[in-house]
Amino acid sequence: MTTREEHGGLTRDHPWFAANEVLAFVLELVAIGALAWWGFTAPEGLAASLALGVGAPAAAVVLWGLFAAPRARFPVPLAGVLAVKTVVLGGGAAAVYGTGRPVAAAVLAVVLVANTGCAEYYRRR
């Protein structure tokens, strides 16, 4: 058995672990919201905006629930989970960029990568 010090002092019962998990959930919601925002602001017309505004976040939620959620319908290896997270969370950052906010998209992308890296590292311990 390993000690806390061997893991940099963080364990699953540490407050930073819980805070990172809460941040991960908030970031997931932000990504879904960004996809909806991007879709509803699409300049292709009302029908396309409605389809993208509802369809993009719905597809992301279904994909997440099937493969990346803690109680996913189809559990996949870590590489598969990270691929789904890249598509959904990266799609959220790309959606922010697509709405004309490149700085916000870059900040979101950096936070997403840092949070996901920390979360997966400590979840797998």
Q: Is residue 43 part of a domain?
A: yes
What total of structural domains would you count in the chain? Answer: 1
Range of the structural domain that residue 40 is part of: 10-123
Residue 2 is assigned to a structural domain of this protein: no
Mean pLDDT, all residues of the chain:
88
Residue 39 falls inside a structural domain: yes
Instruction: Specify if 38 maps to a domain.
Output: yes
Residue 3, in any domain of the structure: no
pLDDT at residue 21 greater than cutoff 50: yes
Note the pLDDT tens digit of each residue in 70-110: 899 999 998 999 999 999 999 999 999 999 999 999 999 99
Evaluate whether residue 112 is within a structural domain.
yes
Distance CA 121, CA 116 (A): 8
Task: Give domain status of residue 1, yes or no.
Answer: no
Listed in sequence order, the DSSP H helices in the chain are: 15-40, 46-67, 78-98, 102-123
